[in-house]
Amino acid sequence: MTVSAAPRLSLWQGVLAALLLLIAMPALAVERSTASGDSTVYDIPAQDLARALNAYATASGLQVLYETALAAGRSSTAVKGRMTPDAALQLLLSGSGLVSRRTDVDAITLYAEKPPDAAPAPARPDPRFLGVLQGAVLGALCGTEETRPGTYRAALQLWITPAGAITRAALLGSTGDVRRDAALQRLLPGTVVGAPPPGLGQPVTLVIGPRAGGARPECG
């Protein structure tokens, strides 16, 4: 009785392929980690927090999402020098009472920090809803060449109905193009984003900055 060697060869080929995959995976992880931690030169003076966050989004290429009321009456810390986006934001927010959390590779949401021995802070917005909101807004903006993100900065205030549709959109300052400004405010009302969680403070502010070098395209 003769046993063919082909099945053994095929088995070893499969084992070798699996080992090569395991070796490659850590390298990919390091590459992605390095890309997300690239440093940038920041020069953001201490100022009104909302203005500082707009400047941060422009410099970092990240999107910043927060309940508008959170930034009211708060000031930022000056950020100057070369550092990673996470380090820059942590410095900018220091002393403001707000903390940040990554909800996507290029998106950050802000929350109120609970002070020691203080009353419980309001419930954090559901990060899943914020992710859906971000995706729905970007999807709507990608629908026309005039509003396609990546080359301009926009700070948008959004009001959302209990049924989950944007009922109103307002700009906090111009994008630099009056036609684009009008298109943004005309396009977003009616966009369905899903029912917001109970107690969500409104309006919600979404800051979209120009795409930084190496950042993935917002519209795929």
- The pLDDT of residue 124 is 58
According to the model, what pLDDT value does residue 41 have? Answer: 93
Query: How confident is the prediction for the chain on average, in pLDDT?
Result: 78
Q: What is the pLDDT of residues 162-205, one digit of tens each?
A: 999 999 999 988 888 999 999 999 999 999 998 888 888 889 99
Query: Which residues, 6+ apart, have CB-to-CB distance to 104 below 8 Å?
Result: 63, 131, 134
Is pLDDT of 220 > 70? no
Whether the per-residue pLDDT at 216 is higher than 90: the answer is no
Report the distance separating Cα 169 and Cα 167, nearest Å.
Answer: 7
Give the closest residue to 101 by CA, choosing from 72, 139, 61, 128. Answer: 128
Alpha helices in 61-174 (DSSP H): 68-71, 85-93, 127-141
- Give the residue extent of every domain in the chain: 40-114+123-208
- Averaged pLDDT, 106-117: 76
Between 20 and 153, whose confidence is greater?
153
Output the CA torsion 66→196→124→34 (10° steps). Answer: -60
Q: 112 exposed, middle or buried (CB, 10 Å; 0-12, 13-18, 19+)? A: middle
Let me know: does 209 contact 57? Beta carbons within 8 Å. Answer: yes
Q: Which CATH number fits domain 40-114+123-208: 3.55.50.30, 3.30.70.3270, 3.30.1180.20, 1.10.357.10?
A: 3.55.50.30
Query: Which pLDDT belongs to residue 33?
Result: 34
Q: Is residue 40 over pLDDT 50?
A: yes
Look up residue 97 and give its amino acid. Answer: G
Q: What is residue 35's predicted lDDT score, i.e. its pLDDT?
A: 38
Instruction: Give the model's pLDDT for residue 52.
Output: 95
Cis previous bond, 85, omega within 30? no
Per-residue pLDDT, 116: 52
Percent of the chain with pLDDT over 70: 74
**What's the rounded mean pLDDT across residues 134-140?**
91
pLDDT in tens, 144-159: 999 998 888 898 999 9
Which pLDDT does position 75 carry in this prediction?
95
Per-residue pLDDT band for 51 (boundaries 50, 70, 90) equals: very high
Provide mean pLDDT across the span 20-39: 39
Q: Quick one: 217 exposed, middle or buried, by C-beta within 10 A (0-12, 13-18, 19+)?
A: exposed
